[in-house]
Structure 1
Amino acid sequence: MGEVIAVYDAAGNRTGRAERARVYAEGLWHASAGVLVRSPRTGRIYVHRRTKTKAVFAGMHDCLAGGVLGPDEEPRSAAAREVGEELGITTRADALTPAARVSWDGEWAGRPMRCHLFAYALPYDGPIRHQPEEIADGWWWSGTELLDHLADPTWPFVPDTRVLIPQLIPAARTR
């Protein structure tokens, strides 16, 4: 049996659990939680490139460290777990500030992908330690640098995070 994750309905209610492979194959609604890491000193945002071995959005860029919710996980706890796993940042769940929430009904690799996304913000200036299976590279960018790259629709950026950008980066609302 493969990894089991939480399954949701279109309205955002948890309805059960299923193997991740089935969720992706059938386009079942699920949830993910991620953390936007921003330096309180410089205002820069940590951007990273996913490894080419990731099951979805392989090799693409993202500004959220995150992942899917386990069957019994709450979004904020999952976000704290993920930022620890992916970037080596240990934090309490209550230190994360809710930043955005959106439901994304899209497509990946010719199949439907439906996800409720919970984004949190974390002010942080400490060291970053990538999980080599998940993160290939990373760097700090200003919001303007990130938005300039996002202005190119062919730049390989995770599509579900892309829909959150106007809520995550205030300047995006005016661009």
Structure 2
Amino acid sequence: MTPTGATGGPGPSDPGAEPVEEVDEDGAVLRIVTRREMRARGLRHRTVFVAVVDGDDRLLVHQRAGWKDVWPSAWDIAFGGVCGVAEGWADAAARELAEEAGLVAPLARVGGGTWEADGVREVAQVFLARTDDPPTCPDGEVVATDRVPLGALDAWLATRPVCPDSVALVRPHLPEPSGPHPGGASADRGLRGAG
């Protein structure tokens, strides 16, 4: 069965065949492997994360599709993914934001780092996009979205399964909220809503 997206679009036909870079701790390319081999062997690879914040200091969060190869159905605080072969960091971030969220917005690099756990090893760069545009999530990787006030994010994180890599790598680089916000997620539900 082919996975379908929230907008009815098909999911990837064989994401495991995609070529990706195995890299060292500094992000230097060691060799090209398939995504399937990278996941099976827990090989270090380059990833990007894009946190999306609106004019009301709310973070756009999303729930991953159940067919994703890591952390299926978990919630995430950033859009992003594996960089393509020879793809620049900013290009990968813009591509992932457009593919997963259907958004095009100026990006600012706000940090980076490495992460290793649960058989996943990443060298990452973190970007921030500021936009009030609604996500359309065209590629089917996202099944629900919501907006969470930055001041309520820690409480939100404590109440659901979330992708641990983005929490570790993105959370420290999020902007401070500009003012007090009521607790909890907003009523601005996206796609199929938050569950």
Spell out, residue by residue over 1:31-82, the C-alpha distance to the aligned partner (whole angstroms, 9 max, x if none).
111211111x201110000011111111011111111001110111001001
Normalising to structure 1: TM-score of the pair?
0.85
Aligned length: 161
**Deviation (angstroms), 1:170:** 4.0
Equivalence map 1:1-175=2 (5 Å): 2-39=17-54, 41-91=55-105, 95-107=106-118, 112-131=119-138, 133-151=140-158, 155-164=160-169, 165-170=171-176
Post-superposition shift, 1:150? Answer: 2.2
Q: Distance in 1 between matches of 2:22 and 2:121?
A: 10
Which amino acid is 1:166 matched to? P
Question: Highest Rg: 1 or 2?
Answer: 2
CA deviation map 1:98-149 (0-9, x unaligned): 1221100111xxxx21011211001101121013520010011101222112
Percent identity of the aligned residues?
A: 28
Indicate conservation of the 8 Å contact 1:53/1:133, yes or no.
no
Letter of the 2:111 partner, please give it: A
Give distance in 2, aligned partners of 1:123 and 1:57.
Answer: 26
Q: Structure 1 regions of 5+ residues with no counterpart?
A: none
Q: SS of the residue aligned with 1:83?
A: helix
Q: 1:9: Cα distance to partner?
A: 0.7
Looking at secondary structure, tell me which structure has more helix per residue.
1
What RMSD over aligned residues (CA atoms) do the two structures have, in Å?
A: 1.6
Matches of 2:154 and 2:147, distance apart in 1? 13
Q: Deviations over 1:74-98 (max 9, x none)?
A: 111001001001111124xxx3101
- With 62-71 and 125-134 compared, the bigger mean Cα shift is at 125-134
Task: Give 5+ residue unaligned stretches, structure 2.
Answer: 1-15, 178-195
TM-score by length of 2: 0.77
Distance 1:6 1:42 in 2: 38
- Is 2:80–2:96's contact at 8 Å kept on the other side of the alignment? yes
